A and B are shown apart, each in its own frame.
Chain A
């Protein structure tokens, strides 16, 4: 089997900053903010109001419909407000604000291990949904939806994604090193839903300790194996993993389950294990606070709703004499730059990267016209032609973009922008164009139904 996909780039991974930092639990001190839209799908509905007392593990936002997810309180205290607050995306969004009493009193409904064999498949799915688990890799797709495909018997591979190909981020590395057994337990539970599936734990080769730990944990297991992958971005992309493990390339119109694969982040698998065996809802998760500007890059088990500011300070704060130029929620390839540190982390925040200088700002000074060098086409993991796509967008030819060049299949991995010697903002252009085309389609569909 090949150990990688076609294309891809090799950015400096900078994981050495934090890869040795063991996971630390960080309990927030200040107020906690819980956006109701942390996942893909419909935002949750607030089921608490100002003044209500809340406990750790309590559901405060209920899933609204099937493709939605519960929002869980991660502290104990009093609801201060249900109001619009600034979130990672920069927009003002409906949030539940809780005054943290610092006691962390739990609801008491979770924490005792149950016998896994007594739990039915329906119960597994219900517990995952109750726990408010969503894909922790970044996209935030509700996990109970993902685990209920149309064809559970047709699923051939359950892939635990421990590739962690984003530069800087090391929290899953630490999770796999410290909680290998728990991850395998989570795998076993999910594999019960898919009797014909083989479990594959995919890890990039730059994490030898994690590979060793996972290998030890799966030793003797006949349905789960560990697969070392070549270190290359975006190795941890869903499509890249499926390509490597099953050899299948599939278009944007299909889901992984359509080609017999389920991909979940190792963090998600861990959360599933906790949710099913201990009834523990998802209110905390692993994340990395790193970057050249941070004094002690760290890996935390942090509670959702904690502010960026608190976590950066928990990592020793910003180095003396250093002005952070850019703070990114997530890693530098696919992360989102934030305008202020007064925003809360959500379930999908796997890193806070504080950069002391902004490579984008420097790159913009070096921008030249496109040379047609073709680097973008060789790195695109989907075999698209970014340079032609950019030309089509510049010419306003959305028809060509969509149908001739398959521009909607762009996964926004950022490889083309990263590699471009002319420093063209390719990925950014495609993100906008895709949004524009989808908006037009929705408008056309809405017009058609009237």
Chain B
């Protein structure tokens, strides 16, 4: 035979999957989100801006890579598809009302600075799309945080609403019709992400640990417990899903080992939740992924899985030793302690659940009693719509500007047996006490005359601030009709402070004044 045969070391066959194929599948997986983004943008605003952003971003990313390869006389790598994926990811993480020049700048930054300058595909140290997004946020903050709204005014995104403690529409977030980025449809992202996971293109270890870490931390420290509505709202907003499935799973910037991926994912989830809870930026999730990207080389350096044959269980098996049962490997006291702790925990929580209602009922009763003291003519207390609305709009914030840290807790109308309004009660808390919050109830007659006050929470210094609860001080308020009280003035509306307890006195006066002001401006003004 005279033919030339190819020579190479084995294996002589290769899997059909190539780098461009994987990138192509990732692009396809992002397509549903992109389509939803463009369609929603068109239906709501009759604008094709979302489409232009996507095209401009992908186009400029690919062009940048092409030009870089040409300029540096490298192999043209633009067709491996990774630049297109970067462009697509960047576009989907932008608002549909972003001016089109921004994604172009972002793509050039992502490809040129973050990717090519660090050695191209597989060498970048942070996710290029995210880096570009953060670059744009920092450099063009104003243009980046504009989100369209139906009335043409810009309005807050759901995450901003959440941060302000307001309720959001989870359904619209899920389907992508809420205010937000182009790739905001959780449903579309989940479809693409789960397909990638099913095809084994992205690692489930990463995406699910991100979501688990985020949910767990949010539930434990988010202040609202594991309320599904609250957790879902946070999961659906602010790029958690896109981050978990498409950004964090970027091969180059995530760890290779399974354990490393779990650590990395949890890090992202927890950081994301920390930033959400304690920070103010709605874009915190991008930052948490970038920080985890930076930690990846470290994780890969230290978390190296032990080959099967060198794991402890394998060594024991290979040397013929029998497996020691779990109960014998752990010292007995540890087991005993664990069992005791668990039992105690279960018992305590049982007692708590059983007594919870009683405690609540007792508190309610105490409150009622104190209302009764300051408004003795009333048989029952009824809610007032205007007052409720006003309290809700405060959102737990400080009331007014002249009353220190005063909070209005409740305002009710006292009704007698015949159904006539015989007075009003307000529950006010002041946070300027000498030792902790002072909470009191104020009883008013229908015309605003003070009927009396009664403390429901008073922890002031015994013998000094505690004297506020003595008739000598608190009865001074009774039967006086004023707009506001003052301390130690030679005037009609003056109150004599407690000797040696000016802080307490002024806190109580502020609380009463806040209640009076609320009564005059909201309850009376509304009538």
Contact call B309/A418, Cβ cutoff below 8 A: no
Contact of B12 among A342, A358, A387, A423 (CB under 8 A): A358
Contact call A388/B300, Cβ cutoff below 8 A: yes
A358 and B13 alpha carbons, distance in the complex (Å): 8
Q: Interface with B: A70-78, A100-108, A377-385, which one? A: A377-385
Q: Does B358 contact A (CB under 8 A)?
A: no
Contact call A334/B10, Cβ cutoff below 8 A: yes
Q: Does A179 contact B (CB under 8 A)?
A: no
Question: How close is B25's CB to chain A, nearest CB, in angstroms?
Answer: 11
Q: Does B7 contact A (CB under 8 A)?
A: yes
- The count of residues in chain B whose C-beta lies closer than 8 Å to any C-beta of chain A is 46
Q: Does A333 contact B (CB under 8 A)?
A: yes
Instruction: List, in ascending order, chain B residues with CB within 8 A of A145's CB.
Output: none
CB-CB nearest in chain A for B121: A369
Instruction: List, in ascending order, chain B residues with CB within 8 A of A358's CB.
Output: 6, 8, 12
A13 and B318 alpha carbons, distance in the complex (Å): 32
Q: Does B353 contact A (CB under 8 A)?
A: no
Q: Does A363 contact B (CB under 8 A)?
A: yes
Instruction: List, in ascending order, chain A residues with CB within 8 A of B254's CB.
Output: 372
Contact call B14/A363, Cβ cutoff below 8 A: yes
Q: Are A421 and B18 also in contact (CB < 8 A) when A359-B12, A383-B305 are?
A: yes
CB-CB nearest in chain A for B80: A368
Which residues of A from 239 to 262 have beta carbons under 8 Å from B?
243, 247-252, 254, 258-260
Contact of A421 among B15, B123, B314 (CB under 8 A): B15
Q: Interface with B: A43-51, A184-192, A324-332, which one? A: A324-332
Contact call B310/A355, Cβ cutoff below 8 A: no
Among A336, A372, A385, A422, the most chain B Cβ lie within 10 Å of the Cβ of A372
Instruction: List, in ascending order, chain A residues with CB within 8 A of B14's CB.
Output: 359-360, 362-363, 417-418, 420, 423
Instruction: List, in ascending order, chain A residues with CB within 8 A of B123's CB.
Output: 369
Instruction: List, in ascending order, chain B residues with CB within 8 A of A373's CB.
Output: 22, 251
Mask, A69-113, CB within 8 Å of B = 1, is 000000000000000000000100000000000000000000000
Contact call A254/B307, Cβ cutoff below 8 A: no
Size bracket of the A interface: 35 or more
Contact of A371 among B8, B251, B304, B314 (CB under 8 A): B251
Contact call A339/B257, Cβ cutoff below 8 A: no
Contact call A326/B251, Cβ cutoff below 8 A: no
Contact call A248/B317, Cβ cutoff below 8 A: yes
Instruction: List, in ascending order, chain A residues with CB within 8 A of B300's CB.
Output: 388
Contact call B318/A259, Cβ cutoff below 8 A: yes
Instruction: List, in ascending order, chain B residues with CB within 8 A of A249's CB.
Output: 307-309, 311, 314, 317-318
Q: Are A382 and B8 also in contact (CB < 8 A) when A250-B314, A371-B251 are?
A: no
Contact call B6/A372, Cβ cutoff below 8 A: no
Instruction: List, in ascending order, chain B residues with CB within 8 A of A90's CB.
Output: 7
Q: Does A438 contact B (CB under 8 A)?
A: no
Contact call B309/A372, Cβ cutoff below 8 A: no
Contact call A377/B256, Cβ cutoff below 8 A: yes
Contact call A335/B10, Cβ cutoff below 8 A: yes
A406 and B5 alpha carbons, distance in the complex (Å): 35
Q: Are A383 and B256 also in contact (CB < 8 A) when A326-B5, A418-B15, A419-B15 are?
A: no
Which residues of A from 353 to 369 have beta carbons under 8 Å from B?
353, 355, 358-363, 366, 368-369
Q: Does A6 contact B (CB under 8 A)?
A: yes
Q: Are A11 and B308 also in contact (CB < 8 A) when A323-B3, A324-B3 are?
A: no
Q: Does B252 contact A (CB under 8 A)?
A: yes
Q: Does A120 contact B (CB under 8 A)?
A: no
Q: Are A418 and B3 also in contact (CB < 8 A) when A247-B317, A249-B309, A366-B19 are?
A: no
A149 and B144 alpha carbons, distance in the complex (Å): 73
Q: Does B456 contact A (CB under 8 A)?
A: no
Instruction: List, in ascending order, chain B residues with CB within 8 A of A37's CB.
Output: none
Q: Does A414 contact B (CB under 8 A)?
A: yes
Q: Does A140 contact B (CB under 8 A)?
A: no
Mask, B1-44, CB within 8 Å of A = 1, is 10101111111111101111110000000000000000000000
Among A325, A370, A377, the most chain B Cβ lie within 10 Å of the Cβ of A370
Which residues of A from 404 to 429 have beta carbons under 8 Å from B?
404-406, 409, 412, 414, 417-423, 425, 427-428
Q: Does A309 contact B (CB under 8 A)?
A: yes
Q: Does A147 contact B (CB under 8 A)?
A: no
Which residues of A from 35 to 62 have beta carbons under 8 Å from B?
none
Question: How close is A89's CB to chain B, nearest CB, in angstroms?
Answer: 11
Q: Are A360 and B8 also in contact (CB < 8 A) when A341-B1, A385-B257 are?
A: yes
Q: Does A121 contact B (CB under 8 A)?
A: no
Q: Does B372 contact A (CB under 8 A)?
A: no
Instruction: List, in ascending order, chain A residues with CB within 8 A of B20's CB.
Output: 366
Q: Does A374 contact B (CB under 8 A)?
A: yes
CB-CB nearest in chain B for A355: B12
Q: Are A404 and B304 also in contact (CB < 8 A) when A368-B77, A421-B18 are?
A: yes
Instruction: List, in ascending order, chain B residues with CB within 8 A of A248's CB.
Output: 314, 317-318
Contact call A371/B256, Cβ cutoff below 8 A: no
Instruction: List, in ascending order, chain A residues with CB within 8 A of B21's CB.
Output: 421
Instruction: List, in ascending order, chain A residues with CB within 8 A of B318's CB.
Output: 248-250, 254, 258-259
Give 7 A-B contacts (CB < 8 Å), ordered by A residue.
A338-B7, A377-B256, A382-B307, A383-B309, A405-B304, A414-B10, A422-B18
Other A-B pairs, 5, CB within 8 Å; known A248-B318, A368-B80: A249-B317, A358-B6, A370-B122, A373-B22, A383-B306
